[in-house]
């Protein structure tokens, strides 16, 4: 996984960071009046944002890359110096973006990339210079540019990016690049990138008619689920809700808005306000769109007097929440502003807590396995060193329960020491997709804060009031994000139970259509989703079209098949099953659906 601390100290980070400097130098050599913004290393490479007199072309990228190779060849070293804010501003007098960054450093609270630091922190202002290029930077870099392998370096793309990610500010040109230690690593990465491009859920979403977004007419970060995507979501929810009901969850519903007083009590208006939208006035009272479902479930808990005999409670809701995200970070289904969480809140007694954690972890794994995910990794985040709520004993008991559950579930895990939220430890459960990428899906999060703030209690066996344990749980995470991950994992070739169209009849000539329609009706009556391609395309085209739509079964019908009451079966993976009696084929598909299998 992308572990910030490990990465910061790795050779790759230094290589990429240094390559970003070299790229900025190369670009300024080509565009002497260009303005430079920021250029950090990122997970698999680096970028730099530029304000240039004209739009960059793919040919420019080649030229910049060649210049970079020439600069690297000279094996320059990096010289660091510290400056006062005034000196730095004089040095970058013709670089307005750098001036703004220097002002951020001067005022404190922001680092040299304009990212927030703990309030009041004033980093020193430093620059690094190699060759003719000096940049505002805190390092680290390679010892000399010879450490950047010119054959393991590549510029990848040009994208628009707003200064500070703010759509009201200057639009800049961002150049993405990647750098590795060895050329073979670059090759593997480029292959993975190619594969990821083919699986991009935004591209497949359009090709397969699954969903759309429309920043202009609908608004950024909002998703329209089209019939085929909507069907997959329905099937997903139907399966999950039934599993919840069979496993002791109660399904609940709550509204989209709540009074400001509710969000004050929950603390969201205190520590989460920047993620919430402006209030709505109703009869002189402010209401907020919900960014989370928790306070509503807590009110349900509080609506009755609770006894120790009643536990555990498992309130589950497909709750649609709205959170502010900057427009620059919105991305297909993966980063959105409105989404539906498969949310749940568990309330239990202290003595039930370890068992409840065991249950919830295994329930998450069971559901995720049902969708075909097999490789998991968990991250256990423990008590942060700074201020946190809840007493020591609670934290230790909760952390121990989380770790014990992970050990019993026998999945690999890492401990993120001190990485927990101030209100409780958690487990993040990640899956590996078909091309080895890691995706965060489930979260199991203790909360010692909300039960205090809402004064949650129950009457114990001793007749006195006690606080329950509270655990937040999102399993798939959000329906939007999970669907995006599913699309990319399966490259749109969903398992048969989720395929919007499970089988398509392909009549060879018009005289075979009636038979195809009759057989299709038979399969539909058995509960399968079946179409007939009665169009005028030739058979080869019909097959290609069905393959492109990733329809699992293509059923070809000609004279011979009509005569035998059969169909010739081709699978979307290219396999040819030959002629099959329709009744047998029906049983085969139904069996694959029941097993949540694929072809």
Q: Least distance in Å: CB of 599 to Zn ion? A: 39
| Residue whose CB is less far from Zn ion, 294 or 405 | 294
| Residue whose CB is less far from Zn ion, 142 or 585 | 142
Q: Which of 228, 268, 297, 323 is catalytic?
A: 323
Decide if 268 is catalytic. Answer: no
The span of 252-260, 266-274, 306-314, 466-474 binding Zn ion (CB under 5 A) equals 466-474
Q: Least distance in Å: CB of 28 to Zn ion? A: 15
Decide if 341 is catalytic. Answer: yes
| Residue whose CB is less far from Zn ion, 16 or 572 | 16
Q: Which of 426, 473, 481, 489 is catalytic?
A: 426
Nearest to residue 572, comparing CAs of 590, 597, 545? 545
| Residue whose CB is less far from Zn ion, 426 or 550 | 426
CB 16 within 8 A of CB 46: yes
Q: Which of 233, 337, 345, 349 is catalytic?
A: 345
The encoded tokens of residue 300 equal 């349900």
Instruction: Give the whole-angstrom CA distance, residue 123 versus residue 126.
Output: 9
CB 112 within 8 A of CB 123: yes
Q: Does 174 bind Zn ion (CB under 5 A)?
A: no
Decide if 345 is catalytic. Answer: yes
Decide if 294 is catalytic. Answer: yes
Q: Least distance in Å: CB of 35 to Zn ion? A: 18
Neighbouring residues of 528: CB distance < 8 A, sequence distance ≥ 6: 502, 503, 586, 589, 590, 593
Decide if 51 is catalytic. Answer: no
Q: Which of 472, 481, 550, 572 is catalytic?
A: 472
Q: What are phi and psi of 476, to 5 degrees?
A: -75, -15
Site for Zn ion in 334-393 (CB under 5 A): none
Q: Least distance in Å: CB of 374 to Zn ion? A: 28
Q: Where would I find the beta strands (DSSP E) of 20-152?
A: 35-36, 41-42, 45-51, 79-83, 125-130, 133-136
In angstroms, what CA-CA distances link 372 with 247, 285, 495?
20, 47, 8
CB 130 within 8 A of CB 145: yes
The span of 135-143, 371-379, 380-388, 520-528 binding Zn ion (CB under 5 A) equals 135-143
Angle CA(304)–CA(397)–CA(263) in degrees, nearest 5? 45
In angstroms, what CA-CA distances link 272 with 264, 277, 320, 389?
10, 11, 17, 17
Q: Does 101 bind Zn ion (CB under 5 A)?
A: no
Q: Does 472 bind Zn ion (CB under 5 A)?
A: yes
Q: How big is the chain, counted in residues?
A: 599
Q: Least distance in Å: CB of 81 to Zn ion? A: 13
The span of 96-104, 469-477, 520-528, 573-581 binding Zn ion (CB under 5 A) equals 469-477
Share of the chain residues as helix, strand and coil, in percent rounded to the nearest 5:
40, 25, 30
Task: List the alpha helices (DSSP H) in 74-170.
Answer: 85-91, 96-107
| Residue whose pair of structure tokens reads 């001067």 in the numeric block | 106
Q: Does 294 bind Zn ion (CB under 5 A)?
A: yes
Q: Which of 137, 240, 294, 348 is catalytic?
A: 294
| Residue whose CB is less far from Zn ion, 98 or 472 | 472
Q: Which of 135, 343, 447, 533 is catalytic?
A: 343
The span of 81-89, 263-271, 290-298, 418-426 binding Zn ion (CB under 5 A) equals 290-298
Site for Zn ion in 8-27 (CB under 5 A): 17
Decide if 346 is catalytic. Answer: no
| Residue whose CB is less far from Zn ion, 137 or 556 | 137
Q: How many CB atoms lie within 10 A of CB 479?
A: 22
Q: Does 137 bind Zn ion (CB under 5 A)?
A: yes
Nearest to residue 346, comparing CAs of 299, 313, 316? 313
| Residue whose CB is less far from Zn ion, 441 or 543 | 441
Q: Least distance in Å: CB of 20 to Zn ion? A: 7
DSSP code string of 446-474: EESSHHHHTT--EE-TTSSEEPPEEEEEE
Q: Least distance in Å: CB of 145 to Zn ion? A: 12
Decide if 240 is catalytic. Answer: no
Q: Least distance in Å: CB of 256 to Zn ion? A: 16
- The sign of the dihedral angle between the CA atoms of 370, 372, 375, 379 is negative
Query: How many residues line the site for Zn ion (CB under 5 A)?
Result: 4
| Residue whose CB is less far from Zn ion, 46 or 225 | 46
In angstroms, what CA-CA distances link 339 with 27, 165, 262, 426, 482?
40, 21, 21, 22, 11
**Residues near Zn ion (CB under 5 A):** 17, 137, 294, 472
The catalytic residue positions are: 294, 323, 341, 343, 345, 426, 472
């Amino acid at each position: 996984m992308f572990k910030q601390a490990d990465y910061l100290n790795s050779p790759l980070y230094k290589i990429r960071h240094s390559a970003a400097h070299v790229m900025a130098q190369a670009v300024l050599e080509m565009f002497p009046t260009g303005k430079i913004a920021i250029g950090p290393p990122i997970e698999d490479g680096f970028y730099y944002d530029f304000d240039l007199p004209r739009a960059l072309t793919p040919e420019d990228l080649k030229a910049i890359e060649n210049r970079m190779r020439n600069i690297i060849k000279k094996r320059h070293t990096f010289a660091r110096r510290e400056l006062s804010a005034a000196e730095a501003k004089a040095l970058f007098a013709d670089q307005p973006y750098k001036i703004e960054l220097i002002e951020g450093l001067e005022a404190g609270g922001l680092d040299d990339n304009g990212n927030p630091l703990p309030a009041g922190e004033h980093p020193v202002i430093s620059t690094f210079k190699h060759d003719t290029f000096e940049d505002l930077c805190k390092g680290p870099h390679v010892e000399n540019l010879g450490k950047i392998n010119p054959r393991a370096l590549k510029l990848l793309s040009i994208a628009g990016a707003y200064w500070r990610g703010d759509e009201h500010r200057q639009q800049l040109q961002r150049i993405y690049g990647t750098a590795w230690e060895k050329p073979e690593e670059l090759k593997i990465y480029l292959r993975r990138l190619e594969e990821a491009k083919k699986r991009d859920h935004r591209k497949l979403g359009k090709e397969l008619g699954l969903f759309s977004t429309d920043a202009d007419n609908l608004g950024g970060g909002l998703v329209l689920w089209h019939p085929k995507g909507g069907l997959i979501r329905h099937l997903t929810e139907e399966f999950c809700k039934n599993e919840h009901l069979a496993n002791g969850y109660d399904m609940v519903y709550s509204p989209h808005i709540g009074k400001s007083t509710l969000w004050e009590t929950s603390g969201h208006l205190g520590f989460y306000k920047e993620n919430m939208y402006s209030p709505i006035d109703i009869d002189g009272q402010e209401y907020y769109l919900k960014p989370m479902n928790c306070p509503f479930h807590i009110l349900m808990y509080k609506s009755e007097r609770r006894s120790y005999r009643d536990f555990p409670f498992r309130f589950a809701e497909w709750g649609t929440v709205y959170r502010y995200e900057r427009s620059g970070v919105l991305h297909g289904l993966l980063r959105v502003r409105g989404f539906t969480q498969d949310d749940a809140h568990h309330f239990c007694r202290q003595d039930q807590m370890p068992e409840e954690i065991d249950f919830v972890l295994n329930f998450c794994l069971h559901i995720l396995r049902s969708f075909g995910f097999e490789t998991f990794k968990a991250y256990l985040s423990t008590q942060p060193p700074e201020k946190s709520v809840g007493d020591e004993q609670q934290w230790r008991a909760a952390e121990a329960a989380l770790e014990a559950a992970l050990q019993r579930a026998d999945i690999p895990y890492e401990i993120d020491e001190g990485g927990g939220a101030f209100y409780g430890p958690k487990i993040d459960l990640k899956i590996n997709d078909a091309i080895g990428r890691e995706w965060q899906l489930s979260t199991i999060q203790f909360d010692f804060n909300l039960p205090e703030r809402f004064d949650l209690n129950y009457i114990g066996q001793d007749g006195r009031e006690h606080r329950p344990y509270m655990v937040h749980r999102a399993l798939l995470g959000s329906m939007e994000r999970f669907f995006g991950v599913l699309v990319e994992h399966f490259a749109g070739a969903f398992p048969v139970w989720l395929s919007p169209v499970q089988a398509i009849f392909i009549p060879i000539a018009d005289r075979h259509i009636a038979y195809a329609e009759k057989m299709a009706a038979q399969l539909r009556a058995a509960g399968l989703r079946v179409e007939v391609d009665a169009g005028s395309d030739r058979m080869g085209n019909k097959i290609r079209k069905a393959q492109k739509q990733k329809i699992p079964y293509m059923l070809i019908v000609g004279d011979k098949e009509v005569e035998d009451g059969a169909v010739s079966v081709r699978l979307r993976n290219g396999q040819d099953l030959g002629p099959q009696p329709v009744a047998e084929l029906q049983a085969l598909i139904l069996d694959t659906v029941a097993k949540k299998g694929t072809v």
